[in-house]
Amino acid sequence: MTEIPKRQVTLDEVAERAGVSRSAASRVINNAPHVSKAKREAVRRAVLDLGYVPNATARALATQQVGAVVLAISSDNPQAFADPFFAEVVVGISAVLEETELELMLLLATSARGQTRLEQLLRTRQTDGVMLMSMHGDDPLAALADKAEVPVVFGGCPVTFEPRYYVDADNRGGARLATEHLVTLGRTRIATITGRMDEGAGTARYKGYQEALAVAGLDAGRVAHGDFSEAGGSRAMAELLAGHPDLDAVFVASDQMAIGALRVLKDAGRSVPDDVAIVGFNDVISARHTEPPLTTVRQPIQSLGREMARMLLGLIAGETPTPLILPTRLIKRSST
């Protein structure tokens, strides 16, 4: 009697037995990142219980490289990649990718079109990996990243969760350094212009400011919220002058905002640093050419890009890297 071939178990059956989505099951079977330990164990048990054997052809297709990676910024501003910060990040990423055969695709991923494009790239595996930056609150990009069957590296740690793979700067420690510097200068009425409070960098820098003033026993109530843009810095500085005309120093959470703040202080007849000392954050090239040159916290922006790219390449190669926090340091110039 001819033996009837045993029916091959499907990936859908494995997913159903494990109680996970098909994409999660696929990620576990293909050793992809971004799967919780519980889901990974559930899929492995289901594979053993059902005797699932991955289709070799399908698996080869799943692991085939396409020769491109994506840098997606959570923004719909067409000028975002012209921002000095993101421009330097791209330089760092490109320096690493030049040593490989991978191309870099840039994507503004907050617009409906951008989200659709990223979702399509992930679903059809038209990219070997993704780097995500500038995540806001409950950003829909986080959900896309969670479903991705390709490696994902975050630039900066989002507010709402800690991703498995990310590269960030010591934003909190850097802000603390900046504020402590103002305290050592004898300034006692120190204000701050925050970044976006739904971004990790914005909240971390605000906490560093608060911590430094708490240790010094000074009031941390002189606060205006910005958005990391020059225009946002101008608006926030005008708000601070209206509400706290006695301020004698400002820690500004980005150099771009500090440039806007300097302009408002000049228009208001306030001398920098005699009347108001000011410190920025990032140390972009333009910070050296303001009037006066800007004291700022230097984070290694190009290194941020380089380390993101290296981490992504490691994931593509099957490695398991650990999150990385880059150091920051104070650069003293004439604005303090």
Fold match, 11-63 / 68-168+301-326: no
Dig out the tokens for 86 from the structure.
């993101």
φ/ψ bin of 228: left (φ > 0), alpha (ψ from -120 to 50), beta (otherwise): left
The span from the CA of 55 to the CA of 191, in Å, is: 61
Q: In one letter, which amino acid is 321?
A: P
pTM of the model: 0.78
Q: Which CATH class is domain 68-168+301-326?
A: alpha beta
How far is 16 from 22, CA to CA, in rounded Å? 8
Reply yes or no on domain 11-63 having CATH 1.10.260.40: yes
Homologous superfamily (CATH) for 171-298? Response regulator (3.40.50.2300)
Taking 3-state DSSP, the helix, strand and coil percentages for the chain, each rounded to the nearest 5, stand at 45, 15, 40
From first to last of its 336 residues, the chain has per-residue pLDDT tens of 444 445 678 888 888 999 987 767 776 777 655 567 888 889 889 988 888 876 554 554 455 567 889 999 887 677 777 788 999 999 999 999 988 878 999 988 777 777 788 888 887 778 889 999 988 777 777 777 777 788 999 999 888 888 889 999 999 999 999 999 999 999 999 999 999 999 999 999 999 999 999 999 999 999 999 999 999 999 999 999 999 999 999 999 999 999 999 999 999 999 999 999 999 999 999 999 999 999 999 999 999 999 999 999 999 888 889 999 999 999 999 999
Domain ranges of the chain: 11-63, 68-168+301-326, 171-298
Eight-class DSSP state of 286: G
**C-alpha to C-alpha distance for 205 and 282, rounded to whole angstroms:** 11
Which residue bears the tokens 């806007």?
260
